[in-house]
Amino acid sequence: MAAEPALMNTPAELAAYCAAHAAGLVQIKPKVVFMKIEAADPAPVPMTINVPSSDIGSVTLLEASALVSLIKLVRPRQIFEFGTFLGYSTSLLVQNSADDCAVWSLDLGDSHVADRPLDAFAKADIHSDGDINDEYLRGAQGARGPHYTTGLTAAERSRLTLLQQDSRRFDPAAHGLEGSVDLVFVDGGHDTETITIDTANARRMVGDSGVIVWHDFASGIHSDVTAFVNGLAERELVVCIQHTMLAILLVGQAGRDFLKMGV
C-alpha cells in the first residue's frame, strides 16, 4: 500500500513544500483553501451550493465547498468541465464564478445509447464496480439530463455552454479553447483511456497557466483515476485535499499565484 502523502496544515506549509519538491503527491487539509480565501478577503465570502443529490455520482458537500473555494481563489475567466452528469457541479461552477466567466461542460447526453435500463442495475454493483458504476452514470445522465442547471438564472445560463459528445473525440481547438481556460474540472469517464485523453485536452486548454482538478482520486472503485494521478505525481507535484477525492495540478503562473495566497 502506498504511503500516506505528507499533510499540510497551512498555506505557508504548502508553499514551502512545493518550493522544495518538483514532483510527488502532497495532501492539504480542506481548511487550507478556506484559509487562503480568508487571507484574500477577511469579509465573509458567500458560496452558492445546492443540496447535494442523495444518488451516486455528484461531488460531496465538502468537495463542492472546496471546488467553489478554488473558483474564488483562481478567479477564472473561462472554466471547462468534463462530466456534466445531472449538472450539480456544473451549477457550482456557474453560480460561483464571475458574471463574465464562460463555463463549458461536456457529457455524452443524447449521443449515448444505454445498454440496459437504469432499474436493471443492482445498487451493490454500482457501488463496488467502477465499470458498472460508469455504465450506470452514463445511462442516468442520458435519461435524466442536467436538471440542476434548471435552477440557473437567465444571465447565468447565458454563460454556460453544454456540449454533447464523447470526450475521447473532443478537440479543444474546434471551440477556440486552446490556452484559454483557467480552470478545468476532470470528472467524466473514469477508465484509463478516457482519463488520459481528457487530461491531455485539459492541458491543451490551460496552456502554460491554469489549474486542473480531478475528481475520484483515491476513490474506492475508480482505481484507474488513482493510478493515473499517481503516475502524474511521479513527474509533477499533485496536491490532493484530505477527506475528498479532489486532486489538483497547479500549472505555471496561475499555480504560483495560488501558492502565494495566504502565505
CB nearer to ligand SAM: give 50 or 180: 50
Cα 107 to chain centroid distance, Å, stands at 14
Cell numbers at residue 112, please?
449515448
Compute the least distance from the CB of residue 175 to ligand SAM, in Å: 15
Compute the least distance from the CB of residue 218 to ligand SAM, in Å: 15
Compute the least distance from the CB of residue 115 to ligand SAM, in Å: 13
CB nearer to ligand SAM: give 36 or 215: 215
- Residue number, nearest CB to ligand SAM: 189
Name the DSSP letter for residue 116.
Answer: S
- Cα-Cα end-to-end distance for the chain: 33
Cβ neighbour number for residue 206 with a 10 Å cutoff: 27
Binding status of residue 108 toward ligand SAM by CB under 6 A: yes
* Sole binder of ligand SAM in the list 76, 103, 187, 211 (CB under 6 A): 187
Positions of E strands within the chain: 6-8, 24-28, 78-82, 102-107, 160-164, 183-186, 209-214, 237-241, 247-251
C-alpha distances out from residue 262 to 28, 77, 87, 210, 216, Å: 14, 22, 31, 19, 27
Subset of 11-70 contacting ligand SAM (CB under 6 A): 57-59
Asked if 214 and 223 touch (Cβ cutoff 8 Å), the reply is: no
* Span from 81-89, 173-181, 204-212, 239-247 in contact with ligand SAM (CB under 6 A): 81-89
β-pairing, 247-251 with 237-241?
antiparallel
Binding status of residue 145 toward ligand SAM by CB under 6 A: no
Site map for ligand SAM, 146-185, x if CB under 6 A? --------------------xxx-----------------
Backbone phi, psi, residue 155, to 5°? -65, -40
Compute the least distance from the CB of residue 118 to ligand SAM, in Å: 13
**How far is residue 210's CA from residue 226's CA, in Å, rounded to a whole number?**
21
**How far is residue 50's CA from residue 58's CA, in Å, rounded to a whole number?**
11
* Sole binder of ligand SAM in the list 5, 71, 76, 107 (CB under 6 A): 107
Compute the least distance from the CB of residue 152 to ligand SAM, in Å: 14
Compute the least distance from the CB of residue 196 to ligand SAM, in Å: 12
Binding status of residue 80 toward ligand SAM by CB under 6 A: no
Which residue ranges make up the site for ligand SAM (CB under 6 A)?
A: 57-59, 83, 85-86, 88-89, 106-108, 134, 137-138, 141, 166-168, 187-189, 194
